[in-house]
Amino acid sequence: MKLPTALSYIAMVTYLVGVVLKVIDISDAWIPALAGSCLLTFVRIYDRVKSNTQKKNSAKPTRLPAIQLFSAALMIYSAYLMYMLKGYWILPVAIAAVLELYSSYRMPKE
């Protein structure tokens, strides 16, 4: 397993732990959510830079890493909303989940 893939899985699980903790109303649930989303954003930026450097000789589309990067930014925003104790923190989570589902479905198998 490649390191960015493993880090992506770790980040997603950490973010999911933060969301579950927020659903059961733990006050510091934003901390694992923010840690997971920041790690995921780092991995997405790495993938975006890597796809831009390999753009010339690859058929992999470059808009999908951009969609994934936007999804990671929405996850950071939702962690901020969790910190600010806003009730609509779930909206960026839902949008990010739909974008992740779309990009994982459309991402070509390597």
pLDDT digits (tens, 9 = 90+) for 33-89: 999 999 999 998 988 787 777 666 555 566 788 888 999 999 999 999 999 999 899
Which pLDDT value is given to residue 105?
A: 86
Among residues 1, 36, 5, 10, the alpha carbon closest in space to that of 104 is found at 5
Which pLDDT value is given to residue 3?
A: 83
Non-local (6+) Cβ contacts of 96 within 8 A are 71, 72, 74, 75, 78
